[in-house]
């Protein structure tokens, strides 16, 4: 099973696709086979970030059963070992995939014979995005140092957190009073702490197991487009706060500086880390990639 790293973040324009493409390239250059899956359904453009024309095959063929195996829609990229799974040629209604399609795709992603799978998710907190984010045991939240982005990131984290708690309650044994709170027929919308309180009240001996399962998913936070005037300690503060107020683990994995030349690289349909390997921002991305795959900073690739 590959190591899956979903990349989300709530707000649009914070650089999710940029970070996904950059990290994918940096990890692939280490000799790992990397799948880059564009699940920004309905707003897909990861191929352009990678410098590719719209691929002829993609996730749409998998959904419509034109191809049997998910791996068949992978297209090579200019970076060796890095393959793109595009959704740009999907139908205009792709943003609203069916539950069965979602389950099928998640299962297929888990069975890909790749070392790493990076999933580029769309903005917002719709259920599909949340479920794809929860495909693995960790997920990367991309945020920028602006109130709007911080606000959406927290909303995204809270939505993922609540979804996770509901999943746990649905998938495991709990007393009917707890189960009923997450049942589809239930009209009242419970918050995460209300659900935990309910377990505490009606099924207290399940609390340790519940907390352990909530803790089984780790949030990684990356601050993108950092600027000089921004608080360099913001990420550490967010990590500290989240650790204090959620039962999930959190890790701030680094600042990535804003660089004017990212625009230039995108304009030339070239990867920033390829075009400007010596830039501070490229160095920071390498360090983040290293932390994500749990070893020392990635050195310059060929």
Q: Which residues are near other proteins by CB under 8 A? A: 145, 147, 150-151, 154-155, 158, 161, 191-193, 231, 233-234, 236-238, 240-241, 244-247
Shortest approach of other proteins to residue 292 CB, angstroms? Answer: 22
For 7, the token pair is: 């990349």
Shortest approach of other proteins to residue 142 CB, angstroms? Answer: 16
Given the complex with other proteins, which of 183 and 232 has the nearer CB atom? 232
Shortest approach of other proteins to residue 226 CB, angstroms? Answer: 12
Shortest approach of other proteins to residue 111 CB, angstroms? Answer: 34
Q: Which one, of 150, 176, 172, 153, lies nearest residue 216 by Cα?
A: 172
Given the complex with other proteins, which of 29 and 291 has the nearer CB atom? 291
Each residue of 129-159: b (16+ CB within 10 Å) or e? bbbbbbbbebbbbbbbbeeebbebbbebbeb
Given the complex with other proteins, which of 10 and 24 has the nearer CB atom? 10
CB atoms within 10 A of CB 37: 32
Cα(206)–Cα(220) distance, integer angstroms: 27
Given the complex with other proteins, which of 154 and 258 has the nearer CB atom? 154
Given the complex with other proteins, which of 154 and 276 has the nearer CB atom? 154
Shortest approach of other proteins to residue 6 CB, angstroms? Answer: 21
- The 3-state secondary structure of 29-47 reads CCCCCEEEEEECCCCCCHH
Given the complex with other proteins, which of 147 and 302 has the nearer CB atom? 147
Coil, helix or strand at residue 227:
coil
β-strand pairing of 34-39 with 3-8:
unpaired
Evaluate whether 117 touches 5 at the Cβ level (below 8 Å): yes
Q: Residue 70 burial (CB < 10 Å; 0-12/13-18/19+)?
A: buried
**Phi, then psi, of 255 in degrees rounded to 5:** -95, 140
Shortest approach of other proteins to residue 217 CB, angstroms? Answer: 14
Given the complex with other proteins, which of 47 and 163 has the nearer CB atom? 163
Cα(64)–Cα(44) distance, integer angstroms: 18
Shortest approach of other proteins to residue 157 CB, angstroms? Answer: 9
């Amino acid at each position: 099973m590959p190591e899956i790293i979903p990349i989300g973040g709530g707000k649009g324009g914070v650089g999710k696709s940029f970070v996904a493409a950059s990290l994918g390239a940096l990890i692939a250059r280490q000799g790992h086979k990397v799948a880059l899956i564009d699940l920004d359904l309905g707003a897909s453009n990861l191929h352009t970030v990678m410098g590719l024309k719209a691929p002829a095959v993609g996730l749409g063929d998998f959904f419509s059963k034109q191809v049997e195996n998910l791996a068949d829609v992978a297209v090579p990229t200019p970076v060796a070992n890095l393959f793109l799974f595009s959704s740009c040629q999907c139908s205009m209604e792709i943003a609203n995939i069916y539950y069965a399609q979602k389950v099928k795709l998640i299962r297929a992603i888990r069975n890909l014979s790749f070392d790493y799978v990076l999933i580029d998710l769309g903005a917002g907190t719709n259920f599909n995005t949340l479920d794809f984010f929860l495909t693995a045991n960790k997920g990367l939240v991309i945020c920028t140092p602006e109130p709007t982005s911080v606000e959406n990131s927290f909303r995204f984290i809270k939505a993922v957190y609540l979804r996770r708690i509901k999943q746990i309650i649905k998938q495991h044994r709990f007393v009917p009073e707890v189960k009923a709170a997450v049942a589809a027929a239930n009209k009242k919308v419970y918050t995460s702490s209300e659900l935990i309180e309910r377990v505490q009240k009606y099924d207290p001996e399940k609390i340790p197991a519940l907390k352990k399962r909530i803790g089984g998913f780790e949030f990684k936070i990356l601050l993108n487009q950092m600027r000089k005037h921004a608080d360099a300690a913001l990420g550490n503060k967010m990590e500290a706060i989240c650790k204090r107020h959620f039962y999930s683990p959190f890790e701030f994995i680094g600042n990535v500086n804003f660089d004017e030349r990212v625009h230039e690289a995108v304009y030339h349909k070239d990867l920033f880390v390829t075009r400007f390997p010596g830039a501070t921002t490229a160095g920071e991305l390498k360090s983040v990639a290293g932390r994500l795959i749990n070893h020392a900073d990635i050195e310059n690739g060929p």
